Structure 1
Amino acid sequence: MKNQCKTLAYVKDAIWSFDVANQKFEYLNERFANLYELSLDELERAPFAWRRLVHPDDYYLVKRETEKVYNGESVEIEFRIIVNGITKWLSDKKTPVLDDNQNVTMIVGITSDITTRKEKELEMARSEYIYRYFFVNNPNPLWIYDIKTLKFLAVNHATIEKYGYSEEEFLKMTIADIRPREDVSKLVSEVKKVKNRFYQSEGWRHINRAGKIMYVNISGHGIEYEGKKAELVMIHDVTAEVKNKEEIIIAKRNLDTLINNINDLIWSVDQDYRLISANASFERLTTMAFNRKLMPGESVLQPRSGDESIDKWKGYYSRVLRGESVVFINVSSAVKGSTFEIRMRPIVNEDKVIGVVCVGRDIQKRLDAEKRMILQNTELKEIVSLASHEIRGPVTSLTGLVNLFNKDNLSDPFNSDVISLIQKVTNELDTVIHKIVEKSYSIQVDNEAIYSSPQNLSDYE
């Protein structure tokens, strides 16, 4: 017996036996005393001294389970004790020893320090709780799916809210069920590439319960979940961004169509005199000028044989880049017979000039019309002169001759001379009238040439 006791003294767990009838320990090894940091003598004098060290939250658990042993049951419990301010976790296995009459005479037990294991378990439980909390309550849709079967294994609240299916419905579905049929083959191909690492993927389409298409980007990471190879996926809904981009593209196409159907030259340059953008009219003219299309990013100050206008154009651009607005007339060397009115204004971003926007309008027709109007004014003045001088003389002569006509004696020979003179003056007056008619017709022809020619509607501001 002594040898057995010596052997038990070296066991790392606390070994003990308790005499029920005498309410004292029959045996205690040193380990039991060490667990509670009580001496063996103290435990022999006060066998229940250890109970005051039981954690208050676990005291009634220990008491209840101990009573079961007194009633003949074997129990195994885990509880905490507080020793010198330090909490320990213990595992206590208690077994009753019965006599022939089935009365409990002795209780034997093994008490183990499980603090390290329990702390790890609690830490894992806390980590699991934190993971579950952030998974379930994450504001972004999250799910876990089985890589082999594509079945949903877990979904969070945001996924249920976003897609409209219940959790039970999701767990009966696969990730292929929320995609357009034509996208499934791409999905299967991408799933095969999933590794135990983070990745991002863009340009996916999903379908919610209502059948609405959503454009999404995906962040994912391969994991093991409930013994299965799986992937944790976060969804980023970019439907609004995609729709905005589509609207911007449509608006740009409409604007490009509008600008490219304007006869005016429209172009812009940056601070280094490089072309930013241009309409079709500008491209046609510069192609004629340089025998090739001027591409965005190229300098608009392109040298041409015999062209000494680079410094002039650079001067205009530089003035606008300093904040001025410039208007000037330029006679085109690329298109003979064309004169352009050039308007340049600064492009400003956050109070800083970052470029120049330019509009060039062919005003040659307007200039030609102005010249014709000047000629017409000269001809009108001639008509006025004819009317005021060359007509006035014959009219005055006619008036005088009429007064000389002998109305009382029509057979008066002098009347014959008067009639001859009237005839002469009438011929002179007819010649003047023909001149006026010719001048008027010339003006009418010029007006028809001006106003019947096709005009650029943008000329009329």
Structure 2
Amino acid sequence: MALQINNDDASFDALFHNNPNPMWIVEVDTLKFREVNNAAVQHYGYSRSEFINEITLANIRPDYEQQDMLELIRRIKHKQTVKKELTHVKKDGTVIYVNLTSYTVDYYGAHCRMVIIHDVTEQKVKDIKLTEAVNRINETLESITDGFITLDRTFRVTYWNKEATRILSTSKEKILHKQLWQVHPYYLKSEVFRQLHYSLKHKDTAKFEEFIPQLNKWICFTIYPGSEGLAVYFQDMTQQKRGEEELNKKNESLNQIAYINSHLIRKPLANILGIINSMDEIEHNECIGQSLKMLERSALELDHIIKDINNMAELKSNN
């Protein structure tokens, strides 16, 4: 049964007009204001006369919410109490956010709703700004080329970006709110497990590289401790490591070439030069002398070539 209000209801008049929160009574079928209190007049900027004689409920709702308003009114015609968060517009065009509570009332025989307004704009704006900031952070974390995850103090995953999914081959849906080693037991014997516990216990940053056989990847981890748990950045270093291995193999080959040149080739060459020098002391005809000189020049030329090869091999090895 709807609350009935008439001229004889002195208690209603006192509670309604002296309430510090904006209040009004609106006729359901026409959306006309039948009564407003002083708090509504002050808060919305309309005079009591403007509320009752010039505007309707539609004037304090944004244009883009008019249809939603009509659908809401149709749904609540037979409901006793409604609590809703809505957007309102003041006389000067200021948009505010309100928590609304409305009751069905019989106001001098008319089917109406009595409405109490709580302005929550300040908190709503803070929430919107916080949400926007969180969204910007999430967008940044999702766009970076590093894997990034956060863990609470029990090592349960609280955030997992898409690069973490790619590098560690585990989806967010599978790992979120779980420990790494719950999903993949091989982490229990890894350096990751040890370093996570160390960083959380000692509040110390940790950076290390580890080869994870199950992923066939080298990964560089950096762990940052915080009051709520741990933040972990990581990069796939596999290609870099393979490049280093290839370079090491090439350097080993170059060193081997230098060793062969220095010890296995230059030694017999030095013997040849020694023999040529000793033959200079032996008498021989002009033809043999010229042949020895040509052999000496060829041996010396080969010696210079071997030295150049050694220098180039040493230079490439250092680079």
Q: TM-score, normalised by structure 2?
A: 0.69
> Does the CA contact (< 8 Å) of 2:104 and 2:111 recur in 1?
yes
Q: Which residue of 2 aligns with 1:81?
A: none
Say if 2:81 is the partner of 1:201: no
The question of 1:324 aligning with 2:187 is answered: no
Structure 1 stretches lacking a partner, 5+ long: 1-122, 349-353, 402-411, 448-461
TM-aligned CA deviation for residue 417 of structure 1:
7.0
Q: Counterparts of 1:37-436 in structure 2 under 5 Å?
A: 127=11, 130-131=14-15, 133-135=17-19, 138=20, 140-172=21-53, 173-179=55-61, 180=63, 181-195=66-80, 198-202=81-85, 204-287=86-169, 294-302=174-182, 308-312=186-190, 314-325=193-204, 326-336=206-216, 338-348=217-227, 354-368=228-242, 372=247, 376=251, 420=294, 423-432=297-306, 435-436=309-310
Q: Which one has a larger percent helix, Structure 1 or Structure 2?
A: 2
**Aligned partner of 2:43: which letter?**
K
Deviations, residues 226-256 of structure 1 (Å, cap 9, x unaligned): 4544332122233444444444343333322
Describe the superposition over 1:385-414 as per-residue Cα deviations: whole angstroms up to 9, x where unpaired. x89xx7xx99xx9xxx9xxxxxxxxxx999
Q: Measure the CA separation in 2 of the matches of 1:131 and 1:145.
A: 17
* 1:363 to 1:199, Cα distance in 2 relative to 1, 3 A: same
Which consecutive segments of 4 or more residues in structure 1 shift more than 6 A? 380-383, 412-415
What per-residue deviation string (whole Å, max 9, x for no partner) do you get for residues 401-455 of structure 1? 9xxxxxxxxxx999957863663255224522551475379569xx6xxxxxxxx
Q: Secondary structure at the match of 1:185?
A: helix
Cα offset for 1:380?
A: 8.5
Assess, with a 3 A threshold, how the Cα gap between structure 1 residues 185 and 152 changes in structure 2: closer, same or farther: same
- Cα offset for 1:194? 4.2
- The CA deviation at 1:278 is 0.5
Which protein has greater RCO, CA pairs closer than 8 Å, 6+ apart? 2
Task: Tell me the SS of whatever aligns to 1:209.
Answer: coil
Aligned residues of 2:18 and 2:37 also touching (Cα < 8 A): no
Distance 1:128 1:282, change over 3 A: closer
Cα shift at 1:144? 1.8
| Secondary structure of 2:178's aligned partner | coil
Residues 90, 96 of structure 2: 8 Å contact kept: yes
Gaps of 5+ in 2: 1-7, 278-285
Counterpart of 1:176, as a letter, is A
Are the aligned partners of 2:175 and 2:183 in contact in 1 as well (CA < 8 Å)? no
Cα 1:324–1:257 shift into 2, 3 Å: same
- Distance (whole Å) between structure 1 residues aligned to residue 83 and residue 257 of structure 2: 85
Alpha-carbon separation, structure 2, partners of 1:231 and 1:208: 20
Q: Deviations over 1:345-391 (max 9, x none)?
A: 3330xxxxx432222233344445555379659958987xx89xx7x
TM-score between both structures, scaled by the size of structure 1: 0.50
Aligned to 1:272, what secondary structure does the other structure show?
coil
- Identity, % of aligned positions: 20
- Mapped partners of 2:298, 2:34: distance in 1: 119
- The Cα of 1:171 is off from its aligned counterpart by 0.8
Distance 1:270 1:174, change over 3 A: same
Separation in 2, partners of 1:144, 1:167: 12
How many aligned positions are there?
288
Amino acid at match of 1:310: L
Q: What secondary structure sits across from 1:231 in the alignment? A: strand
With over 3 angstroms needed to count, the CA separation of the structure-2 counterparts of 1:319 and 1:142, relative to structure 1, is: same
Structure 2: distance between partners of 1:257 and 1:167 = 48
